[in-house]
Structure 1
């Protein structure tokens, strides 16, 4: 029969409750040593975390953009990444991981360590709409940590320049006179342009026929040709054709008129559709557990970049406006838009993937 040495004898190893006596001197010393070791390790970890926040970033940071290259989101992400690289003296590298409406790239970051070296470009598509469009997401949007909003593109109501309709009120009247006769295009079922179109119908009590395309860019030529009647999309996606005189903007879905679109273009509320506020925004977020010190450091740097006149000018050239602010403001925006999306899905049937 195998026996243990005296220092691990049954007498010392039994619990004190079983024996009803105080622990022996050897066991007491061992417990004290282990407790001291545990406190030392905890102290070292806390110190390491503090040093990590203070010295962040000490190596390249990867920013996952869950959309394809060449998009407005791609442009603003690379602009901010370049500025962050210059500010911190470390590379901020944008990697495009497109697929499933941004779900694949966002899901990748959500499961990476929250050390500040893996961030994700968020949008309404990935953190507001996705939970209502997919039966099972590989991430929980509520657990992603907001860092700050980067930029915003106003959503505009656009029609062919040759259309006989000239105002938003006329578009609503025509849609009500013949439900389902007028059509609107989008970048696909569940895309931002699709949801913007559904929101418009909800706010106006109209019914359009939805024509999904593989990206908003594919819908623009058909809108110019008059094969579809309207498009509810971000301004950058139609800007070239508007400036060329091939498309006409009826209204901008924002609280106030936009210098980017033209101060002569009314807001939806001014044109008779109250409460129709839509925009295509992009923000920076991180995995759950991202330390507050890193969040605050990145937010401060991002706000400084977005206040820079050179950045403002470059964003204007992309059809976007900078949106500096706090992590809490981004969180509130996501919460407000989620509540509106939830209300929409109770009225409009949106098929989940």
Structure 2
């Protein structure tokens, strides 16, 4: 081999190695400036709250400011698109939630693809929903409600937080799996849906525990099922809907993700410290107070969870032919 050819090969090998070396060096110095955590919802919601708690912990541990920036609007799509198109350098992160899994199929012309434009970091919180009825409804269990609905097709009003909300799709999944027909009444959020359920203007609502728990405890509404495959400590007598309809699940969730192509070393660093944050007693208790649980697990576990949730709602949206007006 000539000296010239040997030098060219060495140079080529060195150039090929540069991206990996620079990525590693970059990860070693990360973060060297403030990190933005985009939230596609308004301040005060569960996704925003848990995002701020984790961001503060990361700030304390990593010596740089991790600050939350709310970019609501467009059914969560404005903030999500901004995050998807951010540079993959670890300085823009995103608090994804269950709405992203739904929007992936609900909207036809998004300028991003949720499952391919983000990489998972950590699942911060899952929130089961409660299936509730007005006290006047003669059904004390999910089985009794389904029997009532079968005897009265289309005559029971099902309220929800809006078209495409977790409660709406959870209700559609219930109808598909139980073989019943309800009349959907969408509201502008879970709060007004709960208000009308309490007033008796609708007969059934599926809503997150954070929105519904206090009304169940007060007896204003009757919880007849939980939409996770486990009982809740706060409502030990309420059985999972999956006991009656195997495989049924409808939950809200939120988690930290990053734009695709962020160096794996940065993802690993953020996963470690964000997981440590979620293990802190004060943060874990705050999650519980919001009606949620901390799932734990690896970044890969979170990725599989997001994919399963996205696929679940894609099937429901297609079968129920749900479209936005």
Question: TM-score of the superposition, structure 2-length normalised?
Answer: 0.92
Q: Aligned partners of 1:118 and 1:138: how far apart in 2? A: 18
Of 223, 247, 253, 1:281 maps to: 253
Query: Does 1:138 pair with 2:111?
Result: yes
Deviation at 1:345, TM superposition (A): 3.3
Partner residue of 1:180? 154
Larger CA Rg, structure 1 vs 2: 1
Q: Aligned partners of 2:303 and 2:196: how far apart in 1? A: 37
Partner residue of 1:239? 213
Deviation track 1:47-69 (CA, whole Å, cap 9, x = no partner) reads 43212111211111111111111
Q: Aligned partners of 1:269 and 1:192: how far apart in 2? A: 16
Query: Does 1:218 pair with 2:192?
Result: yes
Of 104, 125, 129, 2:102 maps to: 129
Question: TM-score of the superposition, structure 1-length normalised?
Answer: 0.85
Partner residue of 2:144? 170
The alpha-carbon distance between structure 1 residues 39 and 344, as it changes in their structure 2 partners (threshold 3 A), is same
Structure 2 contact 162–168 (Cα < 8 Å) conserved: yes
Deviation track 1:216-263 (CA, whole Å, cap 9, x = no partner) reads 11211101001011111211011222232212211111111122x422
Structure 2 spans left out of the alignment, 5+ residues: none
The count of aligned residue pairs is: 323
Q: Aligned partners of 1:269 and 1:31: how far apart in 2? A: 67
Higher relative contact order (CA 8 A, sep 6+): 2
Query: Does 1:351 pair with 2:320?
Result: no
Partner residue of 1:194? 168
Of 95, 101, 108, 2:82 maps to: 108
Deviation track 1:14-59 (CA, whole Å, cap 9, x = no partner) reads xxxxxxxxxxxxxxx9999999888777666544321211121111
Alignment of 1:66-77 (within 5 A): 66-77=40-51
The alpha-carbon distance between structure 1 residues 43 and 338, as it changes in their structure 2 partners (threshold 3 A), is closer
Deviation at 1:163, TM superposition (A): 3.3
Deviation at 1:308, TM superposition (A): 2.3
The alpha-carbon distance between structure 1 residues 44 and 331, as it changes in their structure 2 partners (threshold 3 A), is closer
Structure 1 contact 63–118 (Cα < 8 Å) conserved: yes
RMSD between superposed Cα atoms in Å: 2.3
Alignment of 1:47-86 (within 5 A): 47-86=21-60
Structure 1 contact 135–352 (Cα < 8 Å) conserved: no
Partner residue of 2:132? 158
Query: Does 1:306 pair with 2:286?
Result: no
The 3-state SS of whatever aligns with 1:152 is strand
Partner residue of 1:290? 262
Partner residue of 2:308? 336
Q: Aligned partners of 1:218 and 1:34: how far apart in 2? A: 70
Q: Aligned partners of 2:22 and 2:314: how far apart in 1? A: 42
Structure 1 spans left out of the alignment, 5+ residues: 1-28
Structure 2 contact 57–277 (Cα < 8 Å) conserved: yes
Deviation at 1:299, TM superposition (A): 0.8
